[in-house]
Structure 1
Amino acid sequence: MSEFLADGAELFAGICVRDYEQARPWYEALLGMPPTFLAHETEAVWEVAPHRWLVVEQRPERAGFATQTLFVADLDARVAAAAGRGIEPVDEEVYGEGVRKVIYRDPEGNEIGFGGNPSAAA
């Protein structure tokens, strides 16, 4: 077991935005849920898996440069669900062995990807 996990480490992956009021509903639609908690009036936190958190925070001086990827069990279902909430990907990449990454960009240009293994039916 990793030394970090043995110590009970939590991962907080940050995304900085200029306009928190615009960004928060976009991330709610992308992730399909409201934030797990609000750290303060300009910071929202989603628990995306045990001990793994996605943080959207208003920090204009750092906005628009994040790149985060979440690997999910059913990529096609995740993409379809986001589309049903009005969020469409901007690109898709395919790697060796059929691993895929579907890329989204928030209104400020931050890149959020959902990755997945090839489906059993493929």
Structure 2
Amino acid sequence: MDEVKGGGKLLFEITIQFRVDDFPEGRSWYERLFQRKPDFEPHAGIAEWEMIPGSWLQLAQGTPIKGSGPLRLGVPDIEREKDRLIRELEVENFTVNTRDEVPVYWATFADPWGNDLGLFEYKNKGDERERVSVILGKEYIE
């Protein structure tokens, strides 16, 4: 792999896998979470969503590993997304955390199979716009 700024090795994609024992129900739950169908289904029992360029969640038929994760998802409004998850996905109510020295609000919740997920929101919206611009490779305009 090519060397990159700072001397590290180049990583160009990441995939995290969560397992569910009821794949059709799990696929449906994650479709509602992401508000869209999977981007890729290579074979039966696997569905993948590209969450941001180069970052994938792979859902697999299998025995869940309790407590795996959390996979935290950056959102522009954590309270609005929390309300949606509780209402639409029947996620148990969860606490949004904050600490003065941490630049984000964050929260953790579980899917129905015990996989830990989470949300985070930048406190400083300028920092959020900067991160989104870096990820998109162009200036982010709301």
TM norm structure 2: 0.67
SS at match of 1:30: helix
Quote the sequence identity (%).
Answer: 24
1:64 and 2:66 matched: yes
Letter in 2 for 1:49: I
- Aligned residue pairs, count: 116
Corresponding residue of 1:42? 45
TM norm structure 1: 0.77
> Cα distance, 1:103 vs. partner?
2.7
SS at match of 1:96: coil
Answer yes or no: is the 8 Å Cα contact 1:18–1:63 preserved in 2: no
Unmatched 5+ residue regions in structure 1? none
Larger radius of gyration: 2
Unmatched 5+ residue regions in structure 2? 126-142
User: Cα gap change, 1:113/1:89 in structure 2, threshold over 3 Å: closer, same or farther?
Assistant: farther
> Cα distance, 1:51 vs. partner?
0.5
SS at match of 2:26: helix
**Greater strand share, 1 or 2?**
1
Distance 2:74 2:92 in 1: 15
| RCO comparison, higher one (Cα < 8 Å, 6+) | 1
